[in-house]
Structure 1
Amino acid sequence: MEFTWTGSTERTLSAGSTKLEVLEYSATPMEGPLQGFPQMLARPARWRQLAVHVSGAAATLESGALQYLRGDLEMQAVSAAGGGGGLGGFLRGAVTAAATGEGMYKTAFKGSGVIYTEPTRLHLLLGELRGESLIVDDGAFVACAGDIAVSRHVNHGFAQMVGSGEGRVQPKLTGSGVFALQSPVPPEEFQILELSGDVLKVDGNLVVAYTDGLTFSVERSARGLLGSGKTGEGFVQAFRGTGRVWLAPTLPLHMGGVTA
């Protein structure tokens, strides 16, 4: 059976001269049901696309995320060397090198218009930064807009626990503006936990982002103390201090059936 895809706005988030818009596409059968026969129909999963609206502002997309854009927008790949001359260095130093020496390249835009990302079956989580920093899980970053610099954060937590000298490199967003992350988990199922001099321990990779006012470490869990922590099991992620954590308790329920 053939389908036609219908788009609608799922949610928006605005800050200053920028706006993020999540477009959702659902499948509708091109043929109506036959009279007198039940229509047993398994429709394709929905697709989602991010539209980044800027008006005289800057935006940054994950490399390869761009599908098309409309408006008076300049575009440039940015890396560890800094913003470069093509855009007057408007994102100078926005993206720094990974610990391995290779650059983490993003695509930077400046001007006025709308930028559209490639459709995905993952869910898009929107958030806002107000003069703070956010450390994002690998593969979760999609885009940001406003006065936000994208750099790298080397997370040594698990490496130190197992005696390795190499840390995990994660995106770090700093400044004020709006951002979009992707996850198999719908936004409604996320818990945004506010910690104030508190401790949060998480068994499993359920945290998609956290503010850098929190101290992160990896510690042995009860299973680890019993000798079961040989391949990562038996460890928990610990967050201490004051800040916010984006936690997805239902992530195990969504794994295996969703692909980008």
Structure 2
Amino acid sequence: MQLVQENRGDGITFRIHALTRVTRFSHGQDGSLSETREMDGRFTVEAELQGSGVLIEPGAFQYSVGHLQAGVQQQQEGGFLRRAMNAAGTGESAFATRFTGQGRIFSEPVRRHFIIAESSGDPGDEMILDDHAFYMAQDTMRLGTHTHTNISGALSGNGLRQPKLSGRGLFVVESPVPVSEVEVIELSGGQTLTVDGDMMLMYSASLNVQLQPLVRGLRNASRTGEGLVFVLSGQGTVFLTPTMRGVSGASL
């Protein structure tokens, strides 16, 4: 495996590893045998715990080593039926697998990219995630549900509800592109961002979000070929994946 990203937090370290394969063997002048490796397109996430805890998306676990305890933790408040309905609306599970103790946990290798990020825990640092983007988080964080209260939000491609991650700690999200291709845009109070919603990986919960036609009028909309777009305003951060529609040749 090849380490491609690492972030250390309070009692926890996240690492993203790229799986590799041998492409060539060669002999050195001293008779030693060496090998040439290349990434095969699969990635795995490692969480090393030093007395901390981690929440993992159900089904992502592969194996663990150390003195660890596993359990199930509900992702949000409320009864089972309410949690199940909210989870169905966001595309995320109502529960997560929780590990605590000392040791390392590895996820299943998949042909998807991952990004490690950190939240300060301040109210303005809460993030709204794309459906199915949540993968792992320190257990000091909580995955809940953000409900769009305006009509524009209800008509968005992600539906009425979206996953909302809050609290202080490190977390890992699944991305359609490598971290090197993610564009981070910081908005100030006087700026707006207009974007195709399919390209938004996550954004600050403090931002105001509207869904509207790119141009006004049915005839103008048909001439441009553009449908509805997201318009974000206020102060916060937006993470975009503008290369997701093409074939990415970059690596983490």
TM (normalized to structure 1)? 0.75
Q: 1:117 — aligned with what? A: 107
Structure 1 residue 138 corresponds to structure 2 residue 131: yes
Q: Does the CA-based 8 Å contact 2:144-2:165 persist in structure 1? A: yes
Runs of 4+ in 1 over 6 A off after TM superposition: none
Match of 1:202 among 177, 195, 199: 195
Match of 2:167 among 171, 175, 180: 175
Q: Does the CA-based 8 Å contact 1:144-1:178 persist in structure 2? A: yes
Q: 2:21 — aligned with what? A: 27
Q: 1:215 — aligned with what? A: 208
Cα distance change, pair 44–174 in 1 and its aligned pair in 2 (3 A): closer
Q: Does the CA-based 8 Å contact 2:148-2:154 persist in structure 1? A: no
- CA positional deviation for 1:169: 3.0
Q: 2:31 — aligned with what? A: none
User: Separation in 2 of the partners of 1:81 and 1:196?
Assistant: 31
186-195 vs 139-148, greater mean Cα deviation: 139-148
Q: Does the CA-based 8 Å contact 1:53-1:113 persist in structure 2? A: yes
Where 1:176 maps in the other structure, the secondary structure is strand
Q: What value does the CA root-mean-square deviation take over the aligned residues?
A: 3.0
- CA positional deviation for 1:53: 1.4
User: Separation in 1 of the partners of 2:226 and 2:193?
Assistant: 18
Q: 1:59 — aligned with what? A: 54
- CA positional deviation for 1:18: 1.2
Q: What letter is aligned with 1:181? A: V
- CA positional deviation for 1:112: 2.0
TM (normalized to structure 2)? 0.77
- CA positional deviation for 1:239: 1.2
- CA positional deviation for 1:78: 2.2
Q: Does the CA-based 8 Å contact 2:119-2:170 persist in structure 1? A: yes
Q: Does the CA-based 8 Å contact 2:200-2:241 persist in structure 1? A: yes
Matches within 5 A, 1:49-198: 49-79=44-74, 97-99=83-85, 104-131=94-121, 132-155=125-148, 158=152, 160-161=154-155, 167-197=159-189, 198=191
Cα distance change, pair 188–171 in 1 and its aligned pair in 2 (3 A): same
Cα distance change, pair 218–16 in 1 and its aligned pair in 2 (3 A): same
Cα distance change, pair 127–80 in 1 and its aligned pair in 2 (3 A): closer
- CA positional deviation for 1:214: 0.8
User: Separation in 2 of the partners of 1:14 and 1:81?
Assistant: 26
Unaligned runs of 5+ in 2: 27-37
Q: Does the CA-based 8 Å contact 2:114-2:178 persist in structure 1? A: yes
User: Separation in 2 of the partners of 1:24 and 1:137?
Assistant: 23
Q: 1:18 — aligned with what? A: 12
Cα distance change, pair 170–141 in 1 and its aligned pair in 2 (3 A): same
Where 1:28 maps in the other structure, the secondary structure is strand
- CA positional deviation for 1:203: 2.2
Per-residue Cα deviation, 1:69-89 (whole angstroms, up to 9, x for no partner): 12222212223676xxxxxxx
Q: 1:88 — aligned with what? A: none
Q: Does the CA-based 8 Å contact 1:135-1:210 persist in structure 2? A: yes
User: Separation in 1 of the partners of 2:140 and 2:75?
Assistant: 18
Q: Does the CA-based 8 Å contact 2:131-2:162 persist in structure 1? A: yes
Q: What letter is aligned with 1:60? A: L
- CA positional deviation for 1:20: 0.7
Q: Does the CA-based 8 Å contact 1:27-1:46 persist in structure 2? A: no
- CA positional deviation for 1:28: 1.8
Q: Does the CA-based 8 Å contact 1:13-1:19 persist in structure 2? A: yes
Q: What letter is aligned with 2:73? A: V
Per-residue Cα deviation, 1:52-77 (whole angstroms, up to 9, x for no partner): 11212121111111111122222122
Cα distance change, pair 67–155 in 1 and its aligned pair in 2 (3 A): farther
User: Separation in 1 of the partners of 2:213 and 2:140?
Assistant: 38
Q: Does the CA-based 8 Å contact 2:76-2:144 persist in structure 1? A: no
Q: Which structure dedicates a bigger proportion of its chain to helix?
A: 2
